[in-house]
């Protein structure tokens, strides 16, 4: 019990340790993070495997990292094929259709909840309405959007103020979603009501993003000074001709987590992850940590970047991602270190950011650091690129996207097993 006697004992024990007074003198004046920087050990920007990529993009004040990370991989195909110095694909184009598709499927879920006689106090209903419309997403969501709508160059469908600053449109669409729910409770024609609200959402989204092109002219000048034009091409035709990757069939998400419900060497599908009607849910192959790391290395050695999910609850110092909690522990003489599995099990990290791994440094068969391409513009990190310690990758990178060509025969065999459905509440990975 936390009574006066307990408090007196705590005070007495604190005062016994002279280091506590020193800590207080220091921490009274400076930020904790200022005490954990290693001024004498800077990680260089040299890597034994270093995939050449181009200047970083900028998602601005939006939660589109999942789309930008994928677009940053795809644009390299266009740059190579067309012999360009630089090139960007439109993040706004993907976001337009993501907003529309996401709003549509949320309406569908609310209708299905009504048919299932779920009330406002049901966990699924309340969470959907609480979350509303957001920006966040994942690789399979991106792959489905590209498969359905294709892609376009950034200059064909450029950013607007609100496509780069999405707080307001998310608030508006969230309010529209809640109004739909209230009308749905009293409606006898759910589909007619849904059509009305889709029209409202389309008006809002198009007014903010613009009308996406059905066809466009792809014009560019290659590095040898030659002008090119591909006239009257659709976004799907552009994707097939200049990129051509089969993202849905040739790539698989890999996780590495185990507890009482989720086991290694199984395939899992989390419920209600679809953002497009009648499209594939997010499927994950769950593997042991060593295999997880091995697949990253194998793909990098094939000169292909690795798309990954991570937590940003750790810290970036001088352009370096580090496991900051271990460093904080040193200040207080405490052991705060946890591995990836333990952090996930205790809800210590979430899939809140997506980036791509473009390099790694290996010395004497030991990984010393990783190279990361972000989408926060060129003013952060080293011209937008970051270094990550191996400890940070082991603890905070907890989902990757791998080309199936990199999988072993045994891993491919696991993919043929029945997919295990899990509730969203249990999806720790």
The DSSP line for 403-420 is: EGGGS-HHHHHHHTSPPE
CB hemisphere CA count around 295 (13 angstroms) = 31
Task: Give the Cα-Cα-Cα angle 45, 307, 338 (nearest 5 degrees).
Answer: 75
Tell me how crowded residue 414 is: count the other CB atoms within 10 A of its CB: 16
Structural domain for 208, as ranges: 90-242
pLDDT for 427 equals: 67
- Residue pair 311/398 in contact by the 8 Å Cβ criterion: yes
pLDDT for 315 equals: 63
**Does 336 share its domain with 387?**
yes
Backbone angles phi, psi at 212, to 5 degrees: -65, 145
Q: What are the structure tokens assigned to 357, written together?
A: 């791994």
Q: What distance in Å separates the CA atoms of residue 145 and residue 67, rounded to the nearest whole number?
A: 10
Low pLDDT (below 50) residues in the chain: 39-40
Q: What distance in Å separates the CA atoms of residue 307 and residue 73, rounded to the nearest whole number?
A: 8
Report which of 63, 61, 148, 87 is spatially closest to residue 353, judged by C-alpha positions.
63
**Does 311 share its domain with 298?**
yes
pLDDT for 369 equals: 94
In the chain, the number of structural domains is 2
- pTM of structure: 0.93
CATH number at residue 421: 3.90.70.10
Residue 326 counted as domain residue: yes
**Does 99 share its domain with 229?**
yes
Residues paired with 369 in a beta bridge: 361, 389
- Residue pair 197/174 in contact by the 8 Å Cβ criterion: no
Q: What distance in Å separates the CA atoms of residue 186 and residue 57, rounded to the nearest whole number?
A: 46
**Does 343 share its domain with 212?**
no
**Does 184 share its domain with 263?**
no
**Does 122 share its domain with 206?**
yes
Residue 74 counted as domain residue: no
Q: What is the DSSP letter of 133?
A: S
Active centre residues (catalytic)? 65, 353, 374
Residue 192 counted as domain residue: yes
Q: What distance in Å separates the CA atoms of residue 68 and residue 60, rounded to the nearest whole number?
A: 11
**Does 170 share its domain with 190?**
yes
pLDDT for 295 equals: 98
Residue 13 counted as domain residue: no
Tell me how crowded residue 235 is: count the other CB atoms within 10 A of its CB: 24
Residue 117 counted as domain residue: yes
Q: Is the sign of the CA dihedral 415, 417, 419, 425 positive or negative?
A: negative
Report the run of H or E that residue 3 belongs to, with start and end: none
Whole-number percent of the chain with pLDDT over 90: 77
**Does 141 share its domain with 260?**
no
Residue 293 counted as domain residue: yes
CA distances from 22 to 15, 325, 332, 415 (A): 11, 20, 11, 56
Q: What distance in Å separates the CA atoms of residue 268 and residue 283, rounded to the nearest whole number?
A: 6
**Does 361 share its domain with 251?**
yes
- Residue pair 415/265 in contact by the 8 Å Cβ criterion: no
User: Are β-strands 283-286 and 227-233 bridged in parallel, bridged antiparallel, or unpaired?
Assistant: unpaired
Residue 357 counted as domain residue: yes
**Does 403 share its domain with 262?**
yes
Residue 66 counted as domain residue: no
Q: What is the DSSP letter of 8?
A: H
pLDDT for 381 equals: 82
CA distances from 51 to 98, 158, 242, 404 (A): 30, 27, 20, 19
Burial class (CB in 10 A: 0-12, 13-18, 19+), 144: buried
**Does 302 share its domain with 217?**
no
Tell me how crowded residue 119 is: count the other CB atoms within 10 A of its CB: 10
Q: What is the DSSP letter of 302?
A: T
**Domain termination site, one of 194, 223, 242:** 242
pLDDT for 40 equals: 46
- Residue pair 371/47 in contact by the 8 Å Cβ criterion: yes
Strands (E), 28-167: 49-50
Report which of 238, 95, 245 is spatially closest to residue 160, judged by C-alpha positions.
95
pLDDT for 39 equals: 47
**Does 119 share its domain with 203?**
yes
Tell me how crowded residue 172 is: count the other CB atoms within 10 A of its CB: 18
pLDDT for 38 equals: 65
């Amino acid at each position: 019990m936390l009574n006066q006697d307990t408090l007196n004992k705590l005070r007495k024990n604190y005062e016994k340790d002279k280091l506590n007074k020193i800590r207080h003198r220091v921490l009274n004046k400076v930020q904790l993070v200022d005490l954990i920087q290693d001024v004498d050990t800077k990680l260089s920007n040299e890597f034994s495997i270093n995939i050449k990529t181009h200047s970083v993009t900028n998602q601005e004040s939006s939660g589109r990292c999942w789309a930008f990370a994928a677009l940053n991989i795809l644009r390299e195909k266009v740059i190579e094929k067309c012999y360009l110095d630089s090139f960007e694909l439109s993040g706004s184009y993907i976001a337009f259709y993501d907003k529309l598709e996401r709003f549509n499927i949320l309406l569908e879920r609310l209708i299905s909840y009504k048919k299932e006689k779920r009330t406002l106090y049901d966990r699924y209903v309340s969470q959907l309405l609480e979350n509303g419309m957001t920006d966040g997403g994942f690789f399979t969501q991106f792959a489905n959007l590209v498969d359905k709508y294709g892609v376009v160059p950034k200059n064909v469908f450029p950013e607007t103020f609100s496509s780069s600053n999405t707080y307001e449109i998310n608030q508006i669409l969230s309010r529209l979603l809640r109004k739909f729910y209230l009308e749905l409770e009293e409606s006898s024609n759910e589909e007619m009501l849904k059509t009305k609200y889709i029209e409202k959402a389309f008006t809002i989204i198009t007014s903010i993003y613009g009308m996406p092109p059905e066809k466009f002219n792809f014009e560019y000048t290659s590095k040898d000074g030659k002008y090119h034009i591909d006239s009257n091409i659709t976004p799907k035709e552009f994707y097939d001709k200049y990129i051509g990757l089969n993202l849905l069939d040739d790539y698989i998400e890999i996780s590495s987590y185990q507890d009482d419900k989720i086991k290694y060497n199984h395939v899992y599908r989390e419920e209600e992850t679809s953002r497009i009607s009648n499209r594939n849910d997010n499927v994950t192959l769950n593997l042991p940590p060593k295999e997880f790391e091995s697949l990253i290395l194998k793909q990098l050695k094939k000169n292909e970047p690795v798309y990954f999910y991570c937590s940003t609850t750790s810290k970036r110092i001088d352009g370096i991602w580090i496991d900051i909690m271990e460093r904080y522990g040193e200040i207080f003489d405490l052991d705060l270190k946890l591995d990836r599995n333990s952090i996930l099990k205790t809800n210590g990290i979430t899939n809140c950011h997506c980036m791509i791994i473009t390099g790694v440094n290996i010395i004497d068969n030991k990984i010393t650091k990783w190279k990361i391409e972000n989408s926060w513009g060129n003013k952060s990190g080293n011209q937008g690129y970051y270094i990550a310690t191996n400890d940070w990758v082991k603890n905070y990178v907890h989902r990757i996207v791998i080309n199936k060509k990199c999988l072993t025969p045994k891993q491919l065999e696991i993919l043929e097993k029945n997919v295990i459905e899990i509730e969203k509440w249990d999806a720790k990975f």
